[in-house]
Amino acid sequence: MSYIRINPIIKKVNMKPKGVVEIVLETTVSQLRGSMDALGNMIDDKAEVTLDSLVVNYNVEINAKTEKPIKHYKVGEDGVVTEVIPEGEQLEADLGIPKDKQPVIEVPEEIDRKIVDEFILNLMAPPYEDLPYPFFTFAERLKDGESYDRISSDYGITAAEMIRILDEYRARIAPLANKWFEWKESQVPGTVIDNKESVTESDEPDTEIVESDQIELDKGSVGEGTLLNEEVSFNQEEGEKELVEPAAEDIESFILEKKPVFEDIPFDFPSLLAIKKSGKSWMEIATSINESSGKLGTAYTKYKKKVKDIMMGGAA
């Protein structure tokens, strides 16, 4: 059995007779490096394909007369994005003066989904009352490789519903994520961004990780027997032991056995996890304790990180 994972471009969809749909995908040789033979062997074979867009599409409202965006945003020193309301408009709103209706057009825009998810994972994305879901947890678990089916089942919704909700949320926060990303890219190395301290040249770690999907290797640059998707380490001290992160199942077992608690975590997650293991979803558990699933999911993610730190020998 062959397995290939690529991020192709959907070039064409052809409707053919007898209900046949032909989907044409385009990728690069670099993405298929080492998999060409496997791909060739899959011709005329059945394959399971999941198409998940890597682009977030959204609309920007533009004043038809001035051709400028209706909404403007600014980023604070802490990276928080807020909408800027011009002084004149704010004064009119304070005085209750009706606002003149301006002709508005919607201009389609798009943004890399990685940027939007990074915005969410850095806890910069705002919540919305009409979308009471744990989007941070969704983004984190998807990043860790979990499927929509597994994640959605924990919250009592279908995978299709989760995808629809997540797409709606991403599109809503996309303008903010775009502004945040511009601010983030403009920061001077060594300043505090993304809730972490960026590494300056003098603070670079001794171990450098080179990912195969970020660089294109020249022919012959990889030695025989080296997998292209392996992490390659340089300047690693002899005898240095690499810390292996515990698997999700091991973290849950540790929680149920050791029952760790933390002062800044307001929930009894060892007990709640035991309830979860009995067949309840996190959505049902959140309802039973009169909490939003978003708040509970965010707290559980923070709790698991603390537990993982303890398991790896660090301080929580």
Domain ranges of the chain: 1-51, 55-185, 248-311
Give the list of residues 6+ apart from residue 154 with CB closer than 8 angstroms, or none: 276, 281, 282, 283
117 neighbors 144 (Cβ within 8 angstroms)? no
Report the mean per-residue pLDDT for the chain.
79
- Give the chain's length: 316
Predicted confidence band at 250 (pLDDT cuts at 50, 70, 90)?
Answer: confident
CA-based nearest residue to 171, from 53, 294, 82: 53
Instruction: Indicate whether 74 pLDDT > 70.
Output: yes
> Alpha-carbon distance 126 to 169, whole Å?
10
Question: What six digits make up the tokens of 106?
Answer: 């919607």
In this predicted model, what pLDDT tens digit does every residue of 93-139 receive, in sequence order?
555 666 667 788 999 999 999 999 999 999 899 999 999 999 999 99
In this predicted model, what pLDDT tens digit does every residue of 193-222 receive, in sequence order?
444 443 334 344 443 434 434 334 343 444
